[in-house]
Amino acid sequence: MTAFRIFMCLLAAIAIGSATYVARTGYGGASSDLTASIRAASAGNALNRSVK
Amino acid sequence: MSRAADLLAVNCTACGAGLDVLGGGRVIVHVCPYCGTALDAVEGYRALRKFNETPRPDTMLEIGQSGEIFGVRYTVIGLLQLEERWGGRTWQWIDYQIFSPTHGYAWLTFEQGEVIFTRRHRSDCWLSAHSAETANSRLSVWERGRRYVYYETSNSRVIYAEGEFTWVPRSDKVTSSVSVLHLAMDGRSRAEAKNAGPADCVPSMLTFSKSGMEREVYHSVALDKYAFAESFGCSMPRSYRMHPLSPMPRTPNGKFLIWLGLAGVVLSAGIGMSLSAVSGDLVLPGQTVRAADLPREFTFEVENAGDLVSVDLRGNGSNSWATYELELTDPEDQLLFSAARGVEYYYGREGGENWSEGDNAAQLKFHAPVAGSYTLGLYPDESGIWTNPKGGPAPQQQSEIRIRAHSGLASGFALYMLALGFALLAAFPGGRHLLNRKMRMAGSDWEDED
């Protein structure tokens, strides 16, 4: 097996491992309208706290 | 009849210029490069006719230049400038006749940055210009186990000649040529092609050439142009267009990439689907609320910041719909969102077949920004019924709504994206070949009828 093939297999394994880790956090699963709204609300909240 | 084998030089019988004799015993015409007179090589070099009607073109090779092709030494013995006119455009190119005492006669042509090596080919296979013109689909022929597809038809005539030829070049004769091309899935490297014979080269082209009553089949391949330039001591013109006979691209790990890509698709999609099926922790057990009792608030706990939370709604009506307003506040009573979701379900029978639309379900999915107790307000918005104008079951109002929530969910999104990446990896070798094939066939004169 060539170095290229070993490298590609390792790369594929790392990619699948990383994607599985990310998938377990639920990344990409939220409704986009709710994500935007929560982000805006959280930013507003943070701003209010810093003003206080 | 053939000329004397020991003849090394003659004087032109028209202008007296000294002419080298390089071309072996089958040469029948020698065109003087100085005065353009065609001399009969088998009958004392008597003048036949004045040949050249155009000035001498610039050439890549000169008569007498020699070098190795497929391990055989060839010498340039003649050159022809040919012309084709079609649709108001004119194409001109030069063919070089070359000779090897052991391997006979062949042709060289410089086209689009490639050196094309052509030899006469013994074959029973034939494709006429008429059949190519009248075909409804692109024609193909099989020859020695190889499939050749139609490439182009050309009608050319000689406009300049000099040197020795095994046939009589005539400027008033039009030669009709039909070319067919053989491609393969993977090409040979230049190094491999160097060690192979012309018959082994891929891609290759067959040309069915007809001039008057004479019919010939020619076989053409592209040479290793760097080795050729070194051997013949000439420079190669550059071209950014791909010649149909240019060496095929190689993907040395093509099969490995296909298998790795397919395995990656199966693995990524499989893990993605299994993670999507994980239901997480039930943080709000299912509760059924009558529409008349709305609005209502529900409280649930989220254990970890960033957890993916799903709120599922399910109605109980049929041929009816209802929309709800949902408001979520975080543990600090800050409103995170206000969103609308609807449930609907319709069914009936039409044309002897049952149909249905909608599933009475709706869902909200969001990432909880912090851990703690969240409050979800459920407010009724609009609702209605649909009566089938063609009859059928009576509509049933959305009188109840069932609500529940899970947290700590996973999402297959990242893995599905990765599966897409693996699919592209698996498609890379084939896609590269198809793109290359398309570029190669771009010069073909075949047009598919829409």
Indicate the domain borders of chain B. Answer: 52-232, 279-409
Give B239-243's long-range contacts (Cβ < 8 A, gap of 24+).
B239/B112, B239/B113, B239/B114, B240/B113, B241/B112, B241/B113, B241/B443, B242/B112, B242/B436, B242/B439, B242/B440, B242/B442, B243/B111, B243/B112, B243/B113, B243/B114, B243/B116, B243/B440, B243/B443
Residues of B in contact with A27 (CB under 8 A): 411, 413-414
- Strands in B225-334 per DSSP E: 281-290, 296-302, 308-315, 320-329
For B413, phi then psi, to 5°, come to -55, -55
Residues of A in contact with B256 (CB under 8 A): 5, 8
CA of B359 to nearest chain A CA: how many angstroms apart? 19
According to CATH, the topology of domain B279-409 is Jelly Rolls (2.60.120)
Percent of chain B with pLDDT over 70: 94
Range of lowest pLDDT (A21-30, B188-197, B227-236, B347-356):
B188-197
Q: Peptide bond preceding B295: is omega within 30 degrees of 0, i.e. cis?
A: yes
Q: Which of A8, A28, A34 sits opposite B366 (nearest CB)?
A: A34
- Give the residue-averaged pLDDT of B291-318: 93
Q: Which residues of chain A are within 8 Å of residue B339 when distances are taken between CB atoms?
A: 31, 33-34, 37
Q: Domain extents for chain A?
A: 3-51
CB contact under 8 A, B335 and A41: yes
Q: Is B54's Cβ below 8 Å from some Cβ in A?
A: no
| Residue A22 confidence class, pLDDT cut points 50, 70, 90 | very high
ipTM of this complex prediction, to 2 decimal places: 0.84
Percent of chain A with pLDDT over 90: 42
What pLDDT is stored for residue A10 in this prediction?
A: 95
* pLDDT > 60? residue B89: yes
> Under an 8 A CB cutoff, do B364 and A31 touch?
yes
Q: Is the pLDDT of residue A5 over 60?
A: yes
| Confidence (pLDDT) at B246 | 85
Span of B132-136, B199-203, B331-335, B436-440 with lowest mean pLDDT? B199-203
Look up the pTM and report it: 0.68
Return mean pLDDT, chain B.
88
Confidence class for position B341, pLDDT limits 50, 70, 90: very high
CB neighbourhood size of B341 (10 A): 18
Confidence at residue B194, expressed as pLDDT on a 0 to 100 scale: 55
Confidence of residue B342 (pLDDT cuts 50, 70, 90): very high
Instruction: Note which residues in 1-52 of chain A have CB less than 8 A from chain B.
Output: 2, 4-5, 8-9, 12, 15-16, 19-20, 22-31, 33-35, 37-38, 41-42, 45
Put simply, the answer to whether A19 touches B335 (Cβ < 8 Å) is no
Q: What is the mean pLDDT of residues B321-331?
A: 93
Residue B7 clears pLDDT 70, i.e. is over it: no
